[in-house]
Chains A and B, each alone.
Chain A
């Protein structure tokens, strides 16, 4: 990609990301009362992250079996209430171990 289109993309990306955070924070002095909007806003972070994770994460490591194990371990650790770092590291270690096992044993 050439620098020009990189910077156009960067401007769109950083500009929209900044405005969507800052406008409500800077301008919002009142509470949103509309129940539908409040509910929609409550669900949207979770639906975004879920739709981004499945099924794309299965193909993120180049090994679908290892990635599946990694995700299952991540979910189990998260159910146990482990924090962000622990869950992420556990998923990585699992993928690594499964990949090593598959490479050297099978």
Chain B
């Protein structure tokens, strides 16, 4: 019980952060033409910011199912790494079906908090997931319902929230590592090429993000292989 409460408490700031970011996701989904229940259902079944953002961008086009699959796999491959990393830290009781259920809740922030622990128990991890999940769902609901009520100028401003969160994840690490900063710079440069150059800008944004992310990460792995301790 102590472990569970500790996890619950650790999830509060994440839940609050998710509330604001998913509020923005709700607004973006509505502005793209989704119904409120669709936005909420997407959030409840995916629980991921970048994947959902790319996902709704693809969904508005008919029948780009392969694009959807490829973009989700690329954008979310980072969770595999987090899952592998955390799988080394869990208690012996954390096994079998518990891993298959709780694996659903692996997000950047939940991973970040959990991996700060020496050992991750089932109770701690369960507690940790609760507020983030509530925050993500509730925020999407509020954003997609209230989004229409808010003045346009406020809705526009909220659309930057999700990107603000991405910046908050990347910048602190890039500050610590020159090679990461350089790799991130390459990713941004490639992404700009795909956005602005003719021919390249006809490629769907989901695929473009995949290509940019994979190419720059491969270059990083070739030229700046990471030392053990950098690798979480």
Stretch touching chain A among B2-10, B140-148, B216-224: B216-224
Residues of B near A92 (CB, < 8 A) are: 24, 157-158, 160-161, 164
The answer on a CB contact under 8 Å between B13 and A85 is yes
Residues of A near B153 (CB, < 8 A) are: 96, 99-100, 103
The answer on a CB contact under 8 Å between B168 and A88 is yes
Name the distance in Å between B109's Cβ and chain A's nearest Cβ. 7
> Contact flags (1/0) for B206-228 with A, using CB distance below 8 Å?
00110011101110111011100
The answer on a CB contact under 8 Å between A60 and B159 is yes
The answer on a CB contact under 8 Å between B164 and A43 is no
Give complex CA distance A46, B53 in Å. 16
Give complex CA distance A8, B14 in Å. 30
The answer on a CB contact under 8 Å between B209 and A48 is yes
| Interface size class of chain B, counting residues whose CB lies under 8 Å from the partner chain | 35 or more
Main secondary structure of the interface of B (DSSP, over half): helix
Give complex CA distance A5, B72 in Å. 17
B203 contacts the other chain (Cβ, under 8 Å)?
no
Residues of B near A12 (CB, < 8 A) are: 65, 68-69, 72
Main secondary structure of the interface of A (DSSP, over half): helix
CB-CB contacts below 8 Å: B35-88 with A: 38, 41-42, 45-48, 50-55, 58-60, 62-63, 65, 68-69, 72-84, 86-88
Give complex CA distance A7, B155 in Å. 27
- State how many residues of chain A have any CB contact under 8 Å with chain B: 76
The answer on a CB contact under 8 Å between A52 and B59 is no
Q: Which residues of B are in contact with A by a Cβ distance under 8 Å?
A: 13-14, 16-17, 20-21, 24, 33-34, 38, 41-42, 45-48, 50-55, 58-60, 62-63, 65, 68-69, 72-84, 86-88, 96, 99-100, 102-104, 106, 108-109, 153-154, 156-175, 180, 183-184, 186-188, 190-192, 195-196, 205, 208-209, 212-214, 216-218, 220-222, 224-226, 230-232
Q: Which residues of A are in contact with B by a Cβ distance under 8 Å?
A: 1, 5-6, 8-10, 12-14, 16-18, 20-26, 28-29, 31-32, 35-57, 60-63, 66-67, 70-71, 74-75, 77-79, 81-85, 87-93, 95-96, 99-100, 103
Query: Can you list 14 pairs linking A and B with CB atoms under 8 Å apart?
Result: A13-B45, A20-B72, A21-B103, A37-B221, A43-B221, A47-B186, A52-B53, A52-B54, A53-B188, A61-B156, A70-B164, A71-B163, A87-B167, A99-B153
8 closest residue pairs by CB, A with B: A78-B171, A22-B103, A91-B164, A45-B78, A25-B103, A88-B164, A39-B221, A41-B81
